[in-house]
Structure 1
Amino acid sequence: MNVLQEEMILPNGVILSNRIAKSAMSENLSNKHHEPTAILINAYKTWAQSGAGLLITGNIMIDSEAIGEPRNVVVQNRKNIEILKKWAESVKGTKTHLWAQINHPGRQAMEQINSSLKAPSAVPLKTGGRKKTTKKVPEVLRESEILETIEAFANTSIILKEAGFSGIQIHGAHGYLVSQFLSPYTNIRKDKWGGNLENRSRFVVEVYRKIRERVGNNFPVGIKLNSSDFQKGGFSEEESMEVVKILSKEGIDLIEISGGTYEAPAMMGKRKESTIKREAYFIDYIDKVRKITNTPLMLTGGFRTTSVMRDAIASNQLDIIGIARPFAVFPNIGNEIFNESRADFTTKIKKTGVKAIDGMMNIIWYESQIKRIGQGKKTKPELSGWSVFFKYLWLIIEQKLISKTKNPVPSNV
């Protein structure tokens, strides 16, 4: 048997049918009220037929006052429980698990559509790689707000479990709120939530514990964690390994490794020459962390050929192959890997030639491909970068107009 088709038993006994997972990507496919749409659900119905053992959704925001992108799904009450059930049922009749990735953007909330930005500390986000150009300075979270946010993570988790999702993933990477608490660059607090690593990791530990308390021991809970921020003064590789130890001891079911932030986007950047042949961005780190934990490990970033994927599993470097962007271009990727009808899943976006815009293409071009999948259309590798950009710009304008008039959504319905 192809090793990629072997089952994976998680610590709580849940079985994944194989070693291929769709890692989270931003879909940006809610409606203007941040509710799941038929297009979004249809995309997951298509991916459910791909043969993958695990699908992880893109950012589901836990707070309607903290939105990462114009059309992120928000789950903070049971108002949309029926449509959430339809989303969870997208994998019905298959052996595929569907986990919901839950997130709070912190200082990475889009300031054009959020009335305020909140973060562990008042450290603004640098934009466009220009050191002197920064976004709005975020407000410092009060301790009461920190506790409310921890509760919100748990609240969203139990709603999604009730809707029928088969697991939860905490987004603890890429510079979002959990990542901001972990990093000494973005967390300069002097209280019990900042300072040494024990204090900086307190937030993610409390989020995990509160979620586990709500969903029970038999429901999978995982995390996406940075191997490093790749940023001066940020979350280091050594600290990441300590957090892996902490979360493993807590009993987390799956740790997905990625890296970088949107200030230092290693997850989308160039790889070292020494890792190009091995494809994966963070393979050196995974070799080290494998030695310090028995918790299942998933690695995302760079896998493109079936031979490299097989070797990574066969050599016991990791347990799950995380694939993101290729799923947006090759929606039947799992079956193609298993039946060996395609060996290379390299993707290449069409850029505009404008540096400031092309940085966005790493996300929004793939979002447009996902939308095509959800519309029942074939993916379009030649899709124009300019058309993608102008459609995204309109979404920002539209959501900004809506945000000026919307009423807050009650959080405990």
Structure 2
Amino acid sequence: MTADFLGQPLHLPCGATLPNRIGKSATQEELATPLGHASPLNVTLYRRWSEGGAGLLISGDVMVDYSHRERPGNIVIDDNGGMAELREWAAAGQAAGNHLWMQINQPGRQTPIDVQEHPMAPSANREGLPAEGFGMPRAMTGAEIEDLIGRFGKVAAIARETGFTGVQLHAAHGFMASSFLSPLCNTRDDEWGGSLENRARFLIESLRAIRRAVGPDFPVSVKMNSADFHKGGFDMDQSMAVIEMLNAENLDLLEISGGNYDAPAMIGAMGGDQPLARQKAERTLRREAYFMEYARRVRPVANMPLMITGGFRTLDAMNGALAENATDVVGLARPFCASTDFPAKLLRGEIGEVPMIEETMLLDREAYIGQLDDREFNLLESNHQLAWMYVQLTNLGEGKEIDWELTLEKAPQAFADLENAREAARREARGELEHAQ
């Protein structure tokens, strides 16, 4: 068991070099201070990840507008200070000589209703949004679109100034840049909507603003979905067409996320009389097989280096994908919430697979028979897993180890307790700020 391909450096078009091919995709850590600054927990967590051996760490998404945040614990860069904290975070996250890139985002219509009752979006529609938690979006004016493009460039410049070694624009998962691409979300009839070329204009212009802000020798990346998996939405053929447009934009890395194909419902229910260990192994093989197929389809289209994220769990599959040039970086996210040093163990050949939260942290399906159908149960289990991961990221940020005694059933309450304590701290901080003003 060796990691020959996984351990090779990657030379990027801008001249920078990643020390190996393991990439931590963005994870939302929920650890910012009440003012939206990087906290000591961010610093500790990213130092541990840096020392864990991955060649590339991509941060949780940093917001460019305090009035449009995805979650209360987001780090925000919006004329609200925090530069010293950003520098400390950047230094800690590359302590072992790896790269740390800042992911830049604006959630658009996925801004929660308790942050914005009517968030900015390409168009005023709720197509594809959950029934609760989000208000009716309002269509952006042309001036607001231009302002947001400028904000992306400004934050990218701050990332470079404060010591990050690259930036990534988040254009996946239904956030602002992603929703501009979707014909369901974007029903505009001006230069920002309609044809795919017009719907991609926001992404392209944002990338150009970022490149102007950071210069030619600084890594610039995009994260984009292969598809949004909504009927009539942004599909795989459109994704391929946008990748061809991105070939002309001097990208250093294109990250393709698998989106919902990582969900159990998308890989088929496993069951019957097979032993549980075999069920898990077959699920893993099927998931990895899907991502290999997609990577092979993208590779001939994309001229820039690729990072394929989602699905990869075994050393053999990772090495195989790299060996045949299907991808240049193997992207992982959930495993980093259960271990800080698995990349180094993979590179040393000490382990043959990464922590599999989606296979080991499971609810008892029998307890929900007659209450939830398969889709509802899968969603419930996924939400419980997310709560479990948020709690573990806090533990890691506090310098603790993973709490394996925390069950999936108890994870939502444990996360709620954390959130309640943080909200109390946020209210206190807001009160002190208002008093000082």
Q: Following the alignment from structure 1 to structure 2, what is the Cα–Cα distance between the partners of residues 73 and 92?
A: 18
The 3-state SS of whatever aligns with 1:224 is: strand
In structure 2, which of residues 386, 395, 399 is the aligned counterpart of residue 376 of structure 1?
399
Of 354, 361, 372, the match for 1:349: 361
The structure-2 alpha-carbon separation of the partners of 1:351 and 1:404, relative to structure 1 and needing over 3 Å to count, comes to farther
The residue that corresponds to 1:40 in the other structure is: 42
Alignment of 1:36-185 (within 5 A): 36-77=38-79, 79-124=81-126, 126=128, 135-185=134-184
| Whole-angstrom CA distance in 1 between matches of 2:46 and 2:411 | 21
Q: Distance in 2 between matches of 1:404 and 1:198?
A: 47
- Matching residue's letter, 2:296: D
Q: Decide which of 352, 360, 378 is 2:383's aligned counterpart.
A: 360
Task: From the superposition, tell whether residues 323 and 267 of structure 1 become closer, same or farther in structure 2 (CA, over 3 Å).
Answer: same
Residues of 1 paired with 2:187 and 2:79: CA distance?
Answer: 32
Q: Kindly provide the CA deviation profile for residues 185-208 of structure 1, in whole angstroms up to 9, marking residues without a partner as x.
A: 100011110000000000000100
Deviation at 1:158, TM superposition (A): 0.8
Specify whether residues 92 and 101 from structure 1 end up closer, same or farther in structure 2 by C-alpha distance, changes over 3 A only.
closer
Q: Once the two structures are superposed, what CA deviation does each residue of 1:160-211 show, in whole Å capped at 9, x if it has no partner?
A: 1100000001111011111000000100011110000000000000100000
**8 Å Cα contact 1:34/1:74 also seen in 2:** yes
Shift of 1:333: 1.2
Matched AA of 1:349: M
Cα shift at 1:292: 1.5
C-alpha displacement of 1:232: 0.5
Q: Residue deviations 1:48-85, cap 9 Å, x none? A: 01111000011111110011112111112371110100
Q: Classify 1:243/1:126 alpha carbon distance in 2 versus 1 (closer, same or farther; 3 Å).
A: closer
SS of the residue 1:277 aligns to: helix
Say if 2:102 and 2:159, in contact at 8 Å, map to a contact too. yes
In the TM superposition, residue 212 of structure 1 has moved relative to its aligned partner by 0.4
Q: Which runs of 5+ in 2 are unaligned?
A: 269-281
| SS state at 2:248 partner | helix
Cα offsets for 1:299-329 (capped at 9, x unmatched): 0101111111111111111100001111111
Whichever residue aligns with residue 177 of structure 1, its letter is M
Aligned partners of 2:18 and 2:55 also within 8 Å: yes
Distance 1:398 1:91 in 2: 24
The residue type equivalent to 1:384 in the other structure is T
Larger Rg, first or second structure (1 or 2):
2
Q: In the superposition, relative to structure 1, how do residues 404 and 103 fare at CA in structure 2: closer, same or farther (>3 Å)?
A: farther
Separation in structure 2 between the aligned mates of residue 145 and residue 403 of structure 1, nearest angstrom = 29
Give the direction of change, closer, same or farther, for the CA distance of 1:83–1:405 in structure 2 (3 Å limit).
Answer: closer
Matched, 1:17 2:19: yes
**1:38 deviation in Å?**
0.5
Deviations 1:71-104 (A, max 9, x none): 1111123711101000000144422000011111
Query: What does 1:184-223 align with in structure 2 at a 5 Å threshold?
Result: 184-223=183-222
- Read off the aligned partner of 1:388 and give its amino acid letter: A
Per-residue deviation, residues 369-413 of structure 1 (Å, max 9, x unmatched): 111111111112442345432354452796499689959x9xxxx
Greater CA deviation, 188-197 or 337-346?
Answer: 337-346
How far apart are 1:242 and its partner, in Å? 1.0
Amino acid at match of 1:302: G
Cα 1:304/1:92, change in 2 over 3 Å: closer
- Runs (4 or more) in structure 1 with deviation over 6 Å come to none
In structure 2, which of residues 316, 322, 341 is the aligned counterpart of residue 313 of structure 1? 322
Which stretch of the first structure deviates more once superposed, 46-55 or 391-400? 391-400
Given that 2:59 and 2:102 are in contact with CA atoms closer than 8 Å, whether structure 1 keeps it comes out as yes
Secondary structure, aligned partner of 1:245 = helix
2:278 alignment partner in structure 1 = none
1:270 CA displacement: 3.8
Alignment check: 8 A CA contact 1:174 1:259 kept:
no
CA contact (8 A) 2:177 2:202 kept: yes
Unpaired segments ≥5 residues, structure 1: none
Displacement of 1:145 = 0.7
Amino-acid identity (%): 35
Q: Is the 1:350–1:383 contact (alpha carbons within 8 Å) kept by the matching residues of 2? A: no
Give the TM-score, by structure 1 length: 0.90
Is the alpha carbon distance of 1:35 and 1:225 closer, same or farther for their aligned partners in structure 2, counting shifts above 3 Å? same
Q: Distance in 1 between matches of 2:168 and 2:142?
A: 24
Contact 1:8 1:17 in 2 (8 A): yes
The count of aligned residue pairs is 401
**Residue in 1 that maps onto 2:273:** none
Per-residue Cα deviation, 1:271-295 (whole angstroms, up to 9, x for no partner): 4469952643533222111011221
Aligned partners of 1:56 and 1:101 also within 8 Å: yes
Give the whole-Å Cα distance in 2 for the aligned partners of 1:362 and 1:120: 31
Which residue of structure 2 lines up, in the alignment, with residue 337 of structure 1?
Answer: 346
What letter corresponds to residue 360 of structure 1 in structure 2? N
After superposition, the Cα gap between the structure-2 partners of 1:282 and 1:186, relative to the gap in structure 1 and judged at 3 Å, is farther
- Matched residue of 1:98: which SS? strand
Q: Does 1:245 find its partner at 2:244?
A: yes
**In the TM superposition, what is the alpha-carbon distance from 1:238 to its structure 2 partner?**
0.8
In 2, Cα distance between equivalents of 1:117 and 1:400: 25
Residue 118 of structure 1, CA deviation: 1.5
Q: Name the amino acid aligned to 1:4.
A: L
DSSP-derived class of the 2:247 partner: helix
CA distance in 1, matches of 2:60, 2:133: 26
In structure 2, relative to structure 1, the CA distance for the partners of 1:63 and 1:127 (3 Å cut) is: same
Deviation at 1:244, TM superposition (A): 0.8
Determine helix, strand or coil for the equivalent of 1:249. coil
3-state SS of paired residue (2:36): coil
CA 1:98–1:78: 2 relative to 1, 3 Å: farther
Does the 8 A contact of 1:278 with 1:308 survive in 2? no
Alignment partner of 1:277 out of 276, 280, 285: 285
CA contact 1:24–1:324 (8 Å) conserved in 2: yes
State the secondary structure of the residue aligned to 2:185: coil
| In structure 2, distance between residues paired with 1:63 and 1:108 | 13
Q: CA deviation at 1:259?
A: 3.6
